[in-house]
């Protein structure tokens, strides 16, 4: 139920009353749609369909009242004349923004350069937002030049949005067909156009130097007195003149290494070096004599970068700072050739005369490199223990599994049934037996055996392998020992 104040009384509690007969309290609708557009409406009745005593101004009336003051001050606004429409291909015809830049091209296989700097000009055509890249020609460059990328619109991102002149500036990189182009400068028209459009240009940059171009530049001419040495004279006078050195390559430190003799030839005609092996009969090696073919031998080399492909490219003369000369080959010194150390121990007569006449070096004494003969350790044989024969006991000292001693079969066959008979008497032993005559086995006289058939050792027998009594021990008036008795 709504309450209304009594006319003339303030709107305070107790000064209002309610109409008990009123039952409608809805508000009138002021927002509606017409022809698909939303439109506001002025309320015609109040809450509960009560009449409205105050008129409400519309938004249009409010806007009109707000604009009355500037109209009265400045007068009625006049409509600006419409400009004539000019299409872009007419307004920007023959207007091109020119930028200068470069890109770096990688050179994968080259010992002179690793990358190449190529200068380009980037043209932006304002009429259709297309871009072309042209490489200015360089005399005697050996590279196809001219139009590098033909005129077309290039996307700047994955969405396919093309490059616009607002995206271009000095000192930035742009990507065209996978190549990164660096913009370093622009012409005066491009500078004025971008500044008129509110774009602040970055500072101009310079193009970096190309390493290969700098390398090919001719150095400053120097005036030095030419040397008296003439290459043509060397070719004519030193032809077939070779210095010969006898050297030794000692590879004993490595596994299965040994000292191998080689011959080093130094050719005076072109200062080349050759290394040849010295083969012996049945040395177990392939009969290929050349250890290093004839070539110029570098003595010192520049420090190369880690990126230099040593496995596929050979070193050029530019990496070598010094070559080997005859002064580097001295008898009694070591020389390193391609990582191998050789010891020069001798030279031939012509080489010795060459050093004395041309280099004033007379001390070329040969160095002995003969190996010391290793003495074999003599096996010590223990003394005879009295068991078995001497030959049988000796086999226990020679092998782990004893074998029966070998007999001289040829001697047995040749001397079969051949007996030498001697007359002997006891030199020492039983009393009154010196005058008795003894006959060896086979005598016709009656008597017993003094000793059985055996091989008696000599009188000076030691613990060495036994030495049998020879025929010379049985000559006339010689002393022969049998056990503890001596016979004359």
Residue-wise pLDDT tens for the chain (488 aa)? 556 666 677 878 877 777 778 787 888 888 888 888 888 888 878 777 778 777 777 777 777 777 666 666 677 778 877 778 888 888 888 899 999 999 999 888 888 888 999 999 999 999 999 999 999 988 877 888 899 999 999 999 888 899 999 999 999 999 999 899 999 999 999 999 999 999 999 999 999 988 888 877 777 677 777 666 667 788 888 888 999 999 999 888 888 878 889 999 999 999 999 999 998 888 888 888 898 999 998 888 877 776 767 666 677 777 888 889 999 999 989 998 888 899 999 999 999 999 999 888 888 888 888 877 778 888 788 887 777 777 888 888 888 888 888 888 898 898 888 888 877 776 655 555 444 455 455 555 556 676 777 776 655 455 555 555 445 554 444 555 555 555 55
Q: Which 8-state DSSP code applies to residue 474?
A: G
Cβ neighbours, 10 Å, residue 456: 15
What is the pLDDT at residue 477? 47
Give CA–CA dist 53/44, Å, rounded: 10
Give CA–CA dist 318/216, Å, rounded: 13
Sign of CA dihedral 197, 201, 204, 208: negative
pTM of this structure:
0.37
The two three-digit tokens of residue 467, written as one number: 């030495």
Q: Quick one: which of 171, 88, 166, 163 has its CA closest to 133? A: 163
What is the pLDDT at residue 6? 62
Q: In order of start, what are the domains of the chain with their CATH numbers? A: 88-215 (2.30.29.170), 233-358 (2.30.29.170)
Using CA atoms, how far residue 435 sits from 102, 428, 451, 475, in Å, is 131, 11, 19, 20
What is the pLDDT at residue 228? 64
What is the pLDDT at residue 479? 55
Cβ neighbours, 10 Å, residue 149: 17
Residue 339's region, left for phi above 0, alpha for psi from -120 to 50, else beta, is: left
Q: Rounded to the nearest 10 degrees, how much is the dihedral formed by the CA atoms of 215, 221, 225, 227? A: 30
Sign of CA dihedral 368, 371, 373, 374: positive
Q: Which 8-state DSSP code applies to residue 57?
A: P
Give CA–CA dist 345/330, Å, rounded: 9
Q: Could you please report the per-residue DSSP string of 281-334?
A: TT-SS----EEEEEE--EEEE----TTS-TTT----TTTEEEE--GGG--TTSE
Using CA atoms, how far residue 2 sits from 9, 18, 19, 467, in Å, is 17, 6, 7, 158
Relative to beta strand 115-125, strand 130-135 is antiparallel
Dmax of the chain from CA atoms? Answer: 198
Q: Check: CB of residue 317 under 8 Å from CB of residue 231.
A: no
């Amino acid at each position: 139920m709504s309450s209304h104040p009594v006319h003339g009384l303030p709107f305070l509690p107790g000064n209002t009353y309610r109409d008990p007969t009123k039952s409608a309290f809805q508000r009138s609708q002021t927002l509606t749609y017409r022809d698909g557009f939303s439109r506001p409406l002025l309320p015609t009745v109040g809450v509960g369909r009560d009449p409205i005593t105050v008129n409400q101004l519309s938004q249009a009336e409010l806007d009109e009242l707000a604009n009355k003051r500037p109209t009265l001050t400045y007068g009625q606004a006049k409509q600006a004349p419409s400009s004539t429409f000019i299409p872009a291909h007419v307004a920007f015809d023959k207007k091109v923004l020119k930028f200068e830049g470069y890109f770096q091209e990688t050179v994968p296989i080259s010992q002179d350069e690793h990358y190449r700097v190529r200068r380009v000009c980037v043209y932006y055509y304002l009429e259709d937002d297309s871009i072309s890249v042209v490489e200015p020609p360089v005399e005697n460059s050996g590279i196809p030049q001219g139009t590098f990328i033909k005129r077309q619109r290039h996307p700047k991102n994955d969405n396919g949005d093309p490059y616009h002149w607002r995206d271009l500036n000095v000192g930035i990189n742009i990507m065209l067909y996978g190549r990164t182009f660096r913009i370093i400068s622009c012409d005066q028209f491009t500078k004025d156009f971008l500044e008129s459009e509110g774009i602040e240009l970055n500072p101009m940059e310079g193009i970096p130097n190309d390493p290969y171009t700098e390398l090919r530049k001719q150095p400053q001419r120097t005036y030095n007195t030419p040397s008296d040495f003439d290459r043509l004279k060397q070719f004519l006078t030193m032809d077939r003149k070779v210095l010969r050195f006898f050297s030794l390559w000692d590879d004993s430190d490595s596994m299965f290494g040994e000292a191998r003799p080689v011959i080093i030839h130094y050719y005076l005609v072109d200062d080349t070096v050759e290394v040849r092996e010295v083969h012996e009969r049945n040395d177990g090696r392939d009969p290929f004599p050349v250890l290093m073919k004839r070539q110029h031998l570098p003595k010192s080399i520049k420090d190369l970068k880690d990126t230099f492909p040593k496995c596929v490219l050979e070193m050029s003369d530019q990496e070598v700072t010094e070559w080997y000369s005859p002064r580097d080959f001295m008898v009694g010194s070591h020389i390193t050739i391609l990582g191998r150390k050789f010891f020069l121990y001798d030279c031939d007569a012509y080489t010795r005369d060459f050093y004395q006449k041309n280099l004033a070096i007379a001390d070329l004494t040969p160095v002995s490199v003969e190996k010391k003969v290793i003495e074999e350790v003599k096996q010590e044989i223990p003394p005879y223990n009295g068991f078995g024969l001497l030959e049988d006991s000796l086999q226990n000292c020679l092998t782990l599994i004893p074998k029966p001693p070998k007999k001289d079969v040829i001697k047995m066959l040749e001397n079969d049934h051949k007996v030498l008979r001697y007359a002997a008497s006891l030199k020492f032993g039983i009393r009154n037996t010196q005058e008795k005559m003894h006959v060896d086995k086979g005598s016709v006289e009656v008597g017993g055996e003094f000793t059985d058939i055996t091989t008696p050792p000599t009188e000076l027998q030691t613990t060495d392998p036994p030495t049998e009594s020879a025929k010379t021990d049985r000559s006339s008036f010689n002393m022969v020992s049998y056990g503890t008795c001596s016979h004359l």
